[in-house]
């Protein structure tokens, strides 16, 4: 016995079982996001560089110079945890993003988990090695870059009306 539309005798699943696409993002939530993100990245880069330098010299001092060879990868480690911890926190943004009135969410509208936020940072630094990949944000309607798409996140204006229904159901 076979069902029409199914494969290998398995009936097709009803449309309700499939995850609904996220609602359309309000234009106000995306206004000026690219420019604000560029400034936020510059501010965060300065902050991560400062933190990395402090940790580097602190560890260099504490080890009497013995770990100078092992410390160069300190910047990627600091950037990984800096982005992961700040974006997955209750403010949903790095300090640079907060100054620029931005926040990061998953495409489902939820708070970004640590691993997504940290992977997003790694993907961003890899993407900066190939700058033309950053131009993807001019093509996508929601201004997402390749590293945003791969990490399944979106950056929105914090002060804009919410793009997803809140817990109370109001929009």
In a domain, 162, yes or no: no
- Predicted pLDDT of residue 36: 92
In a domain, 85, yes or no: yes
- How many domains does the chain fold into? 1
Beta strands in 50-125 (DSSP E): 102-106
Mean pLDDT of 152-156: 89
Instruction: Report whether 96 contacts 43 (CB < 8 A).
Output: yes
In a domain, 10, yes or no: no
Instruction: Give the pLDDT band of residue 67 (cuts 50, 70, 90).
Output: confident
- d(CA 19, CA 128) in angstroms, rounded, equals 32
Instruction: Report whether 27 contacts 143 (CB < 8 A).
Output: no
- Cα–Cα distances in Å, from 15 out to 10, 19, 57, 58? 15, 9, 58, 58
- Predicted pLDDT of residue 109: 83
The DSSP output letter for 106 is E
Show the domain range for 67: 28-157
Query: Nearest CA to 149 among 128, 118, 123, 131?
Result: 123
In a domain, 17, yes or no: no
- d(CA 89, CA 112) in angstroms, rounded, equals 8
Phi, psi dihedrals of residue 69, rounded to the nearest 5°: -75, -35
Instruction: Give the pLDDT band of residue 19 (cuts 50, 70, 90).
Output: very low
Instruction: Give the pLDDT band of residue 25 (cuts 50, 70, 90).
Output: confident
Q: Which tops the pLDDT comparison, 37 or 64?
A: 37
At a CB cut-off of 8 Å and minimum separation 6, what does 11 contact? 3, 5
In a domain, 21, yes or no: no
Beta strands in 13-171 (DSSP E): 102-106, 153-157
Percent with pLDDT over 90 in the chain: 25
Mean pLDDT of 62-74: 75
Cβ-based neighbour number of residue 163 at 10 Å: 20
With a cut of 50, say whether residue 126 has pLDDT above it.
yes
In a domain, 170, yes or no: no
At a CB cut-off of 8 Å and minimum separation 6, what does 127 contact? 133, 134, 145, 146, 147
């Amino acid at each position: 016995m076979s069902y029409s539309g199914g494969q290998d005798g398995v009936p097709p699943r009803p449309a309700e079982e499939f995850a609904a696409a996220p609602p359309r993002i309000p234009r106000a939530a995306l206004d000026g996001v690219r420019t604000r993100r560029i400034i936020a990245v510059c501010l965060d880069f300065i902050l991560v560089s400062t933190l990395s330098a402090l940790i580097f010299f602190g560890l260099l001092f504490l080890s009497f110079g013995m770990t100078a060879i092992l410390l160069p990868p300190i910047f990627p480690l600091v950037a990984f945890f800096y982005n992961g911890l700040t974006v997955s926190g209750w403010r949903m943004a790095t300090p640079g993003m907060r100054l620029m009135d931005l926040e990061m969410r998953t495409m489902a509208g939820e708070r970004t988990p640590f691993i997504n936020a940290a992977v997003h940072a790694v993907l961003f630094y890899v993407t900066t090695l190939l700058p033309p990949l950053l131009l993807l944000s001019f093509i996508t309607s929601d201004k997402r870059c390749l590293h945003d798409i791969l990490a399944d996140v979106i950056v929105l204006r914090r002060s804009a009306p919410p793009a997803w229904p809140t817990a109370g159901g109001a929009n």
